[in-house]
């Protein structure tokens, strides 16, 4: 391909970061199942450990299999570099580890995955990191939450479980005025449906367990450095702007420029905290990424048809899916996700919590489990499962009230998906 031609998304999904193995000629990226890598000589080893050269040292820090995955997702998101880690939760820990010190604050949208709400409210307190909550339906709440201690703003592009679309650009403007990076969890949308970098995101995270891998067979997370934030503008982020004693007083922000954040996450976070992704999981997710555009279009088309069916069903009291013309987030979906509103939707069942539990127990094609983003259609009652550790008020605020059922619509024949829901609803 000529150097002046920019490959399309579908081409990047198949080819970005990958090339035939130079030793064996293998076309698929090999699984480099090794703990460590041989150095050429003592000087080579010293240059790698001192960050004077790029290369492989130890699989806890990097691997050739994961490197292909990192380059691919960075290309799909329009970022400058990426770092693969063990899970989506691990990605959030590593990101904030590079930004926060004890006593610092970050602002997060209250419309988030329940596990993230729990992580932010409780686990992060052990690090002395404090969260302040804001509402994506009221941008002024983000502005009001900013303080001198604020180090970042965290949102989801499409919020889980409600499937609501966030006004990324408006919140990015708040972050810019505050002088802090905007972190966008793009798990539900994927870069096929939404490109947060185009709307002001500075850092993007994914649970690759979900749609990027797409087959429910491996766990992984990733951090994408968008390369736009000026880490040297102040001493607000000392891990990037101050000399690092571990690396002979190197200043990472100065040395690595527009991919310094990804480097900091790797050599200061992943290296010492240790949530490494296995080469095998990277291989599986990498394989899944090749069909991402095909799957996401099918997911979205199926979900819209299912949402339309549910919206007209007498036992369904409401449907939350931004792909429906009457949905309150439909205009935002048209702006940020023009190819479709994704696979995840929620709806309310007449009869409340008991009816929701009955519905989940009555499906046959759907799988009842705590995941999204599989090729298979999935169902869960968040009130009693994924969000059960939250208070009643928090569950309702997150869009996981007692009557809520969440679907992750798969890529099966849509008529079969609808038929399964129809027979299950008849039993509620």
Per-residue confidence (pLDDT) for residue 388, from 0 to 100:
75
Place of tokens 């449907």: 319
Q: Is residue 35 part of a domain?
A: yes
Of the residues 289, 305, 323, the one at which a domain ends: 289
> How many distinct structural domains can be found in the chain?
2
**Same-domain pairing of 60 and 191:** yes
Positions in the chain short of pLDDT 50: none
Q: Measured between alpha carbons, how far apart are the two ends of the chain, in Å? A: 56
**Same-domain pairing of 315 and 263:** no
Q: Is residue 385 part of a domain?
A: yes
Q: Is residue 376 part of a domain?
A: yes
Per-residue confidence (pLDDT) for residue 243, from 0 to 100:
97
Of the residues 289, 307, 336, the one at which a domain ends: 289
Cβ–Cβ under 8 Å, residues 373 and 209? yes
pTM of the model: 0.95
Q: What integer best gives the mean pLDDT of the chain?
A: 95
Nearest to 114 by CA among 406, 341, 375: 406
Strands (E), 264-410: 316-320, 344-349, 367-368, 378-380, 404-408
Show the domain range for 182: 9-289
**Same-domain pairing of 120 and 163:** yes
Per-residue confidence (pLDDT) for residue 399, from 0 to 100:
74
**Same-domain pairing of 22 and 101:** yes
Q: Is residue 55 part of a domain?
A: yes
Q: Is residue 335 part of a domain?
A: yes
What is the CATH classification number for the domain harbouring 126?
3.40.640.10
Q: What confidence tens digit (pLDDT) does each residue in 39-79 have?
A: 999 999 999 999 999 999 999 999 999 999 999 999 999 99
Q: Residue 341 has which token pair? A: 């509103």
Q: What confidence tens digit (pLDDT) does each residue in 319-349 have?
A: 999 999 999 999 999 999 999 999 999 999 9
Of the residues 238, 266, 289, the one at which a domain ends: 289
What is the CATH classification number for the domain harbouring 354?
3.90.1150.10
**Same-domain pairing of 122 and 234:** yes
**Same-domain pairing of 189 and 311:** no
Per-residue confidence (pLDDT) for residue 299, from 0 to 100:
98
Cβ–Cβ under 8 Å, residues 79 and 186? no
**Same-domain pairing of 22 and 88:** yes
Q: Is residue 4 part of a domain?
A: no
């Amino acid at each position: 391909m000529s150097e002046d031609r920019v490959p399309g998304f579908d081409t990047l999904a198949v080819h970005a970061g990958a090339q035939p193995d130079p030793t064996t000629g293998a076309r698929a990226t090999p699984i480099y199942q090794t703990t460590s890598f041989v150095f050429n000589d003592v000087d080579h080893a010293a240059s790698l450990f001192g960050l004077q050269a790029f290369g492989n040292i130890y699989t806890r820090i990097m691997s050739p299999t994961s490197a292909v995955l990192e380059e691919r997702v960075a290309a799909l998101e329009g970022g400058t570099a990426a770092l693969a880690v063990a899970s989506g939760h691990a990605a959030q820990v590593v990101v904030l580890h590079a930004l926060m010190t004890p006593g610092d604050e970050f602002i997060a949208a209250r419309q988030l995955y329940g596990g993230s709400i729990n992580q932010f409210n409780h686990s992060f307190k052990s690090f002395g990191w404090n969260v302040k909550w804001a509402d994506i339906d009221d941008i002024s709440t983000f502005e009001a939450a900013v303080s001198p201690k604020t180090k970042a703003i965290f949102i989801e592009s499409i919020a889980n479980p409600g499937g609501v679309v966030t006004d990324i650009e408006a919140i990015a403007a708040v972050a810019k005025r505050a002088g802090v990076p905007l972190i966008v969890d793009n798990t539900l949308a994927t870069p096929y449906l939404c490109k947060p970098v185009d709307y002001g995101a500075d850092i993007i995270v994914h649970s690759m367990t979900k749609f990027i891998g797409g087959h429910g067979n491996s766990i992984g997370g990733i951090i994408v450095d968008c390369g736009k934030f000026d880490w040297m503008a102040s001493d607000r982020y000392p891990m990037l702007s101050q000399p690092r004693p571990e690396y002979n007083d190197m200043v990472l922000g100065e040395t690595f420029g527009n991919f310094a954040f990804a480097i900091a996450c790797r050599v200061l976070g992943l290296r010492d905290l240790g949530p490494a992704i296995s080469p095998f999981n990277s291989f599986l997710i990498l394989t899944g990424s090749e069909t991402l555009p095909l799957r996401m279009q099918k997911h979205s088309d199926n979900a819209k048809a299912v949402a339309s069916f549910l919206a007209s069903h007498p036992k369904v009291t409401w449907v939350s899916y931004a792909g429906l013309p009457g949905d309150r987030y439909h205009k935002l979906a048209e702006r940020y996700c023009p190819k479709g509103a994704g696979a995840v939707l929620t709806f309310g069942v007449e009869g409340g919590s008991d009816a929701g539990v009955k519905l989940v127990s009555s499906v046959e094609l759907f799988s009842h489990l705590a995941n999204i983003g599989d090729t298979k259609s999935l169902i869960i009652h968040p009130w009693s499962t994924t969000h059960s550790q939250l208070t009643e008020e928090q569950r309702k605020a997150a869009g996981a009230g007692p009557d809520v059922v969440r679907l992750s619509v798969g890529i099966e024949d849509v008529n079969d998906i609808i038929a399964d829901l129809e027979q299950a609803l008849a039993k509620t």
